[in-house]
Structure 1
Amino acid sequence: MVGDFNAVTGLEDVSNKENFQNHRCTDMRNWIFKEGLIDLGFFGARYPWTRGNDSTTLTRARLDRALCNMEWLEKHLGTKVTNLTHFCSDHSPFLIDLSITAKERKRQSFYFQEAWTRHPDFSKVVEQGWEINKTILDNILAM
């Protein structure tokens, strides 16, 4: 699912850190965790939502995001989400590319999602993909 959730998940999702209140993120973080959703991340602008015209009123945040479950991610492993330049709206449009090649995917950063551990095949996938005789870095680079 992709859209404006009108909520952030942490301090890194806002530009105005002075007015940040962590307790306002709890519901969004809990909902993502409870539903076993995975944030697909993004390329491009850090904050796809902007309000204000000058330094005294400017506020930016990551209210918009792309989330999926493990089953969807397995089918679309190479998904790339890009925040485009916004125009005619205070929200940036997303470009979602499902055609990323394996070579391009290897260049992307690896982020562990705790929700993966709840998938019934998690242990089996780790055992199949992890080589005991390799270092942690070598195993990650082999993914």
Structure 2
Amino acid sequence: MWEKLMELGQLLSMSWLILSDFNCVKSPEEKQLGVAPTWYEFKDFVDCCLALGLHDAPTTGCYYTWYSNNDNNPVWGKLDRVLLNNEWLESGLHCGTHFSPPGCLSDHSPSIVSILDLPAPKPKPFRFFNMWADHPDFLATVEDGWNMNVEGTPQFSL
């Protein structure tokens, strides 16, 4: 599977993403309980992601996306994910994924991928560093700014 994904990924020179049950974790921390995965088990997945420049999309909801449904031997793992390529990130496109708890139909978390909804911008706080006032040109710079002619509403001008 990793070879086929690398062949496909190397043919594409545009922004793309892939959503799948990869049936593999990328690190030991992505599996809880059960037998810990070895480097050999997830090396091919990690190598594929590195070769294609694939990164996990930001997620909300459940971290572990699969549950073994075995009360005697429970296992949790992050098997489902959305991966974005470098071109996606460089183009400034948005992508977010929400993983809900596993339901009655599957032992995997259902996911909703949003590619059109941009996150609400966070307001930037005003910052003033006292060290600026120690600069020899500080007062002249402030005076030049206050004397500058700005067109617009009084609040915009201020």
Task: Tell me which interval the TM-score lies in, with the shorter structure as reference length.
Answer: 0.5 to 0.7
Residue 42 of structure 1 deviates from its aligned partner by 1.6
Post-superposition offset of 1:75: 4.3
Provide the rounded CA distance (Å) in 2 between the counterparts of 1:74 and 1:96: 19
| 8 Å contact from structure 1 (residues 41, 65) kept in 2 | no
1:93 to 92, 105, 110: 110
- 1:10 matched to 2:19? The reply is no
Match of 1:70 in 2: 86
Rg bigger for which structure? 2
Q: Which runs of 4+ in 1 moved over 6 A?
A: none
Paired residue secondary structure (2:112): strand
Partner AA of 1:100 in structure 2: L
Alpha-carbon distance in structure 1 between the residues aligned to 2:121 and 2:62 = 24
Note if contact 2:21-2:81 (Cα within 8 Å) is conserved in structure 1. yes
CA distance in 1, matches of 2:100, 2:111: 6
Deviation of 1:102 after TM superposition, in Å, equals 4.5
CA distance in 1, matches of 2:106, 2:53: 31
Q: 1:53 is paired with a residue of what secondary structure?
A: coil
The SS at the match of 2:102 is coil
Unaligned segments of structure 2, at least 5 residues: 1-17, 125-158
1:83 aligns with 2:99: yes
CA distance in 2, matches of 1:47, 1:21: 18
Superposition CA RMSD, Å: 2.1
Instruction: Using the TM superposition, give the Cα deviation of residue 92 of structure 1 relative to its aligned residue in structure 2, in angstroms.
Output: 0.8
Shift of 1:7: 0.9
2:28 touches 2:36 (CA, 8 Å); kept in 1? Answer: no
**Aligned positions of 1:109-120 closer than 5 A:** none
Q: Distance in 1 between matches of 2:97 and 2:34?
A: 25
1:103 equivalent to 2:125? Answer: no
Contact 2:67 2:107 in 1 (8 A): yes
Offset at 1:69? 0.9
Uncovered stretches (5+) of structure 1, i.e. residues with no partner: 107-143
